[in-house]
Amino acid sequence: MTAWRGVAARNPREAAEWSRGRVIRTNLRAVFGRAYPRIIGLTREPSWVFFEIVLPFLAVSAFVFVYRALQAPEEFVGFVVIGGAMTAFWLNVVWMMAAQFYWEKDQGNLELYFTAPMHLMSVLAGMAIGGLVMTSSRALAVIVIGSVVYGVSYQVSDPLLLVAVFVLTMIPLYGLGMLFASLFLLWGREAFHLAQLLQEPIYFLGGVNFPIGPAFGQLAAIVMATLPLAVGLDAMRQLVFAGSETNGVLPVGAEMVILGVMGVVFIVGARIALGYLETLARREGRLTLRWQ
């Protein structure tokens, strides 16, 4: 039988003195710790195969049939398949990033996160990385199934650049989710409605099912300035369908710069919003506490 053991530090003052290295290591471990449930969830919840692969595939199929009926250029089918895959990331950002702190509060986890010796940004980063890993598998499944079923052929001019654009798209996308996590918590019960509000309009404005350049004309520039999903999709479509006659809104290089700036803005914004949230939570006695 194992017995209780004594503590290693001689006194609490000594125990509370952490080196900078230990602080960094703790936060990195917290990132991995919070990512773990999402990654392991891949093997624990088989129902995702239906909800996150079959259903998006049906949505993609509807647009494919419409484009074929209208005899649209064949690359539009590929646009829809890529868009369908990216939809999985947006859903993940809205429901499992933006709304997550609100659910965590209800479960009582937020109290425990606040009282643990890590920065809450580490929790958000863990959620983002876990969500990204989890969703990538689903997105990949949508691409593979969609491509095989509808015979999409890709002309990737620069695979490394494509990977770079994908990564650059994910940073502001999940950065936006991190920012929304604090804001949704502040807005309380409206979180559910906000999440719904961010779904269909963003599909439309983000050009998930169609290229926004020809569709929006000059207005596309405004969309490009605000939605990382729209910028990333436009850049990826340009790289994946290199021979396409459908032009992107901006050159890929310019879109990468926009994505980079968005990434910085959203992550810094998330950091500021989180600081504000913590101050408000402690001052007003709500937000973090289950019963408030």
Partner 1 sequence: MPDEPAIHARGVTRIYKAKPDPVTALAGVDLDVEPGEYFGLLGPNGAGKTTLIKILTTLLLPTSGTAKVAGFDVVHETSKIRRVINMVAGGEQSGYGLLTLREQLWMFSQFYGLEQREGWRRVDELIEITGLTEQRDQKVRTLSTGQRQKLNFARGLLNDPWVLFLDEPTLGLDVAAARDLREHTLEWKAAAPGRTVLLTTHYMVEAEQLCDRIAIVDRGRILALGTPDELRRRVQAESIFRIELDQLPHDGDLDAIAALPGVLSAVRADEDGDGAASDRVAIKVALADDSALTTVVTGVAQQGAHLIGLAKSEPSLEDVFVELVGRGFGDDDAPGNAKGAAE
Stretch that binds partner 1, among 14-22, 80-88, 240-248, 259-267 (CB under 8 A): 14-22
Q: Rounded CA gap, 131 and 217, in Å?
A: 33
17-24 contacts, C-beta under 8 A, 24 or more apart:
18/117
- Is 275 near partner 1 (CB under 8 A)? no
Neighbours of 250 (CB within 10 A): 19
- Is 18 near partner 1 (CB under 8 A)? yes
Distance of CA 82 to the CA centre of its chain: 16
- Is 3 near partner 1 (CB under 8 A)? yes
CB 168 within 8 A of CB 234: no
Cβ proximity to partner 1: between 71 and 291 the closer is: 291
Provide the minimum distance between the beta carbon of 10 and partner 1 in the complex, in angstroms, as a whole number: 8
Cβ proximity to partner 1: between 5 and 189 the closer is: 5
Angle at 146 between CA 61 and CA 160, to 5 degrees: 135
Angle at 94 between CA 23 and CA 203, to 5 degrees: 140
Half-sphere exposure of 206 (CA within 13 A, CB side): 25
Q: Rounded CA gap, 151 and 74, in Å?
A: 10
Residues in the chain, how many?
A: 292
- Is 289 near partner 1 (CB under 8 A)? yes
Provide the minimum distance between the beta carbon of 41 and partner 1 in the complex, in angstroms, as a whole number: 6
Cβ proximity to partner 1: between 35 and 208 the closer is: 35
Q: Which residues pair with 155 in a beta bridge?
A: 241
- Is 283 near partner 1 (CB under 8 A)? yes
Stretch that binds partner 1, among 12-20, 65-73, 137-145, 158-166 (CB under 8 A): 12-20
CB 134 within 8 A of CB 140: no
- Is 47 near partner 1 (CB under 8 A)? no
Binding to partner 1, residues 101-130 (CB under 8 A): 107-109, 111-118
Q: Which residues pair with 241 in a beta bridge?
A: 155
Provide the minimum distance between the beta carbon of 124 and partner 1 in the complex, in angstroms, as a whole number: 13
**Greatest Cα-to-Cα distance within the chain, rounded to the nearest angstrom:** 77
Binds partner 1 (CB under 8 A): choice among 87, 135, 238, 288: 288
Stretch that binds partner 1, among 7-15, 67-75, 83-91, 199-207 (CB under 8 A): 7-15
First to last CA, the chain: 42
Cβ proximity to partner 1: between 242 and 289 the closer is: 289
- Is 50 near partner 1 (CB under 8 A)? no
User: How many of the chain's residues bind partner 1 (CB under 8 A)?
Assistant: 47
- Is 284 near partner 1 (CB under 8 A)? yes
Per-residue binding letters, 26-45, with partner 1 (x by CB under 8 A): x--xx-xxx-xx--xx--xx
Encoded tokens for 282: 């402690």
| Amino acid letter for position 244 | S
List of residues contacting partner 1 (CB under 8 A)? 1-8, 11-13, 15-18, 22, 25-26, 29-30, 32-34, 36-37, 40-41, 44-45, 107-109, 111-118, 281-285, 288-289
